[in-house]
């Protein structure tokens, strides 16, 4: 079974469902824009922006501002740190479950 520390130290930045979804999108697609996530997750713009800001502060995502047909277009991508953190997050869950499976 999991030790105390293992499960308690889960990365809270990623653990929040909305941010986990964002990280999943980015991990899969590499580059994802604001509106895509907005519609995919059905959030308000403000809510999405603040979650992304949090991921930015954690150093997990880069913001790429471009113009698409002369309209502002913001795109996001995982940093190396973000990629590692995301993979580590899943490792925790694997460990927890494996530990459970070991016994009856």
- List contacts with DNA (CB under 7 A): 12, 16-19, 33-35, 43-47, 49-54, 63, 65, 67, 69-74
* Binding-residue total with a copy of itself (CB under 8 A): 27
CA–CA gap between residue 72 and residue 22 (Å, rounded): 20
CA–CA gap between residue 81 and residue 26 (Å, rounded): 13
Cβ 95 to a copy of itself, closest distance in Å?
Answer: 11
- Which residues, 53 to 72, sit near a copy of itself by CB under 8 A? none
Q: For the window 17-46, what string marks contact with a copy of itself as x by the rule CB under 8 A?
A: xx-xx--xx-xxx----------xxx----
CA–CA gap between residue 66 and residue 63 (Å, rounded): 10
Cβ 27 to a copy of itself, closest distance in Å?
Answer: 6
Does 98 engage in binding with a copy of itself (CB under 8 A)?
Answer: no
Does 77 engage in binding with a copy of itself (CB under 8 A)?
Answer: no
CA–CA gap between residue 86 and residue 37 (Å, rounded): 18
Judged by DSSP in three states, 64 sits in: strand
CA–CA gap between residue 43 and residue 60 (Å, rounded): 20
């Amino acid at each position: 079974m999991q030790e105390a520390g293992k499960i308690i130290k889960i990365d809270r930045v990623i653990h929040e469902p909305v941010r986990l979804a964002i990280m999943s999108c980015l991990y899969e697609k590499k580059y994802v824009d604001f509106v895509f996530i907005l519609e995919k997750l059905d959030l308000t713009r403000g809510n999405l922006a603040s979650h992304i800001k949090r991921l930015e502060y954690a150093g997990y995502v880069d913001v790429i501002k471009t113009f698409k047909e002369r309209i502002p277009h913001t795109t996001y991508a995982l940093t190396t740190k973000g990629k590692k953190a995301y993979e580590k997050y899943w490792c925790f869950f694997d460990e927890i479950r494996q530990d459970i499976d070991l016994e009856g």
